[in-house]
Structure formats: structure tokens, C-alpha cells
Structure 1
Amino acid sequence: MVQGFPTVLVVDDDNDSRSFLNIALQAGAFQVLEAATGMGGLSIVMNEVVDIVLLDAVLPDIDGFRCCEIMHQRLRDRCPPVLMITALSDEISVEKAFEAQATDFITKPVHLSVLLHRIKRVLQERQLLRELELANSYLQHISSTDELTGLSNRRFFQANLNKEWKRLVREQTPLGVLLCDLDYFKQYNDAYGHLEGDRCLKQFAAILRSSVERSTDLVARYGGEEFILLLPNTSLEGLKVIDQRIRAQLTRQAIPHYQSPISQIVTYSSGGTAVIPQISRDPTDLIEEADKALYEAKDLGRNRLIIRNSMSLV
């Protein structure tokens, strides 16, 4: 195959029609694959990179409408656009083509100039759609990600907190939160400079990320040197286990912090709580409890975990 040229799959049981389209398409700078049956066309589209399919409605095994349906069922978003090319021009056939998710419908005899322009238009629209999807994906990523650490940001955390709260209201299982704050980080920045401070934040973010294992767990930068973990289906004891895992990793890394009054390496304080969500409560109550626990950890000398377990918490 010639790199850079779009590939067209022609599915038609008429040898003359296939040869005619093959010659015309190659002259129009397209690569061409051919199949004489619907099953043959399905085999090719499942195993080759195909940019667009020209599909006859009348085939000797399965008709083109069913073939188009199967392509979309199997490939879903990866299915190439399908142009139905057929002598059938009645309203029912046109409806069946679009119900089968065909992109367009062209009747025989084919006008080559119209066909080539139609193919180019469909491919251009598909390319524009891909670029738009990529742009939207990128915008969504940067709007939900902390630029420095690569973790989720506070906005994304809040959205997920609300979503998990509603889900666990139904399931009636605990939702845990662990709020972490690097100890004496202002002094760290003053002593080592902001570039080293940024590097320290990224190192701590990597430790937090590696300390959770489930896809439902979320680690986010909450602001400055504060980080927060959202942990569905996690009890108070589960929070302690995760906190111990984080502390062990941070201790092993032993990031120097000679300006800390409590240690010669970087440490952190944390506050945690867990609750079985109730529809009558606000999910921000969970954050407030964790925040109170964090301040208590700081008041008691830092470099420790405090778990709050009020009467309404589990």
C-alpha cells in the first residue's frame, strides 16, 4: 500500500463494476481493495486499514444493508464511512441504507466526478471530526488536570466527589477521603528555591499516585502543597493502610529538608474520614471533616495521620 493515500474498499459482485471503480479510484489517487461478497468485505474491513467503503446493496450472500449494520456493530467508532452504491433508488432502499448507518447513498450508473467529490467530502468531514474530537479531548484533559503534577485538579475532584456520593448513596458503602499537606513547605521553597519545590511536589504526587490501586480511586492536587485522595468503598481502617503506604514510600525517598524543625527529610500531615453517604447530607461535609482532622494533625506536631470518626461517620 502507498503511504498517505486513502484506502477505498469496493464491495460489489459485478466484476466489470469493480474493475471500472478500481481504475477510476486509482487515477484519483486512492488505494483500492476489492471484495465480491458481503462476507469478503467484512473480512477485509476487520483486518485492514480502510478509510471508506463503497458497498453495493445487492450481493450474493448477505445484502449490503445487513453488511453495513454488521460493520458498525463490530467496529463501532472505528467503522469507516460507508457509501451505498446501487441500482436501487426507491425510497424504501434509501431509508434502509440510512437505517443501516450508511453515510451516503449513490445510485448507478455512477457519475465518476460526483463519486470522487463525494468520497473526498466524506473523508474531509471525517478528518475534521477526528481533529475536533482530539481538540475536545485535549481541552477536557487540561481543564481537569493539574499542570505541574499531572494529577487531577480540584475542579475534577469536586465533580467526582459529587458523582461518587450519589453512587454510594444507592449502594450504602463507605466513601473515604484523605487530605495530605506537606510539612513546612514554605520553608522548603525558601531554602531550596521554587524549582526544587516544584520537583518535590511532583515526587510526592508520584508517590500518591502509586499508593492507590483501584481505577475508582482518585488522587488530586487540592491547592498549593495540599493533595486529596477520594477513595470509594474504603473504611477508616482502609484509610490507615493507604496512609501507611504513602509514608513508607516518602520515607524511602528521603527528600532532604534541612529547614524542617521536625525532620531532616520531607514529611507530611494528613487528615482522613469515611462516611456512608446519605441523601440528606452534603458531600462537602466529608471534606470539612478531613480538613478538621488535618488541622488537628498539624496542632499535634505534624508528620502524622489523624482520623476523625464523628457519630455520623463509619
Structure 2
Amino acid sequence: MTTNPSSTEQINRDLFRPNRQLNKWVELVVKTIFALFALVSVATTIGIVLTLIFETFAFFSEIPIWRFLTDTQWTPRFFNPQYGIFVLISATLLTSTIAISVALPVGLLSAICLSEYAPAKIRRWLKPALEILAGVPTVVFGYFALLLVTPFLQKIIPGLQGFNALSAGLVLGVSIIPLVASLSEDAIYAVPRSLREGAYALGATKRETIVGVVLPSALSGIVASFVLAISRAVGETMIVAIAAGQNPTLGLNPFVPVMTMTAYIVQASLGDTPAGSLAYRTLFAVGMTLFLITLALNIFSFWFVRRFREKYE
């Protein structure tokens, strides 16, 4: 018995038509679910920003912004309160600078070693081992700095106090090394092999190829990892709250206790500050300042990456 081809095609279309309609409905449902998840994240971010804005405006309705920027002490819960935010900013910049001076060179050199020098088998073991460091809780790093690093540094540096910015910054730098190393290594490893081979063909050594070809080609990704690591250092809480102390001191002396912005937020959030009071609103003023600093860092990263890509396109 023979079958008409046209009738066979019609039968196939009849069989798969319901499935096609079902697939369209399934695809629509999946798109809707994904869109809802995206909206939840966006709405959460908007809610956080609006909360910071409203509470910060309430704070500045009672305290002039010039006092916030010009006072030389930070004592919002004292009898004669002062609101000098630069006391907290200086401590944050001090610990972050120490951390960055450790994390950026060590992380970048680790990334170069993993991508350019380590054999493939060793790389498959070293990179996960390095990334395990990122999974250590920051409170562990904080007590490590307080109980081990600080006593060791006190034997070398006379006059180093028990709580200080130096040990907190050093351990903070160690904690963000995996972030710099992993992201930078991914950017370096993504550079096409043909660029390396072209440099070798022109007589360049391995070092000259890395410095002159590989690193410039991966610069956008490396800078993005640097900015992300700096943002992490600025926003770190537990390490500086445990090891750096909670003494708001204006200056850049790494040997004395300091109070960063995040450490103050931890201190003021312990429950001793009445909700709705002026001291309570300082939490949001400090949080808004921290948010603006990290936002500026991310805007710089976006601008740099886009300009770099436009330059080499």
C-alpha cells in the first residue's frame, strides 16, 4: 500500500501542531518567570536606594551638610555631638589602601603565573585551591588578624596597639586576593593564542610577550577585577570591625585603632540607638556615603572599560 506524501505531511503537521502551541505557552511562562526574578532584583535595589535617600534627607534636615563635611570628630552619640564623616572616610581609605597594596600585585602576579607559566594539570589544581580562600568567612579573617597577625607585628613594630589599621588592612588584602587573581586570570587566559604566537614569531621573549601583548589585551578585564576588589575592600565589615577597633580617629596613622564606615554601622546597629533618633539616622547618612563611593568606583570601571574597548576596536 502506498502513502501519499502530501497526506503524510498533513498528518505530521496535525500531530505536532498541539505540541507547538504548548511550547509557545511554556516559553511564555518561562519568560514571565525570568522577568519576575529580574524585577525582584531591580525592585530590591530601588527600595534600598530610596530608603537611603529618604533617611539621609531626614538626617540633613536636622544637621547641615557643611557640618557633615567639616567637623573634625565623629561623636554622634555624645552629649556634644559632632558629625565629621571624613573621620570615618579616612579610616576606610587607610585600611582599603593597605589591602589594595597587598591584593593587587599579589593577585595579578598569581593570575599571570596560573595563565602563562603553570602547566595545565597544575593550573586545574591551583586555581580551585586559591578560590577556596574566598570561601573563608570574614569573621575568621578578623580574628586571625587580631589574634595572630597583630601579636606578630607588635614584635616587629614597637608601639603598635592591639587594635590597629595595619593588621586589618593586611588581612583584608589577603581576603580579596582570590577575587583579583581569579578574574584577572580569566581575562588573561581569554587572550587569543594567535597574539602570543605572533609576538613569539617577531622574536619577543615570554616576558616581553606577557608585558607587551597579553596584559594590554586583557587590561579591561584586569581593571574590572581591580575595581571590584577595591569596592569589596571599601565595603568590608567584619575584618575591620574586629581587628581595626572602633575608635573614630582622624588621620592616616596605621598603628592606632580606627573606625571605618562599615565598623560604625555595625556599632550603631547593635540595638543601643533608639529607632527614629538623630543618631539612628546617621546610619543611613554613612550608608549613603558608602554607596556613593562604591557607585563612583563602578562608574569609573564602566567608563574605563568602554573607552578602552573603543580605543582598540
The structure, 1 or 2, with the larger RCO (C-alpha pairs under 8 Å, 6+ apart) is 2
TM-score (norm 2): 0.22
TM-score (norm 1): 0.21
User: Comparing both structures, which one devotes a greater share of its residues to helix?
Assistant: 2
User: Comparing both structures, which one devotes a greater share of its residues to strand?
Assistant: 1
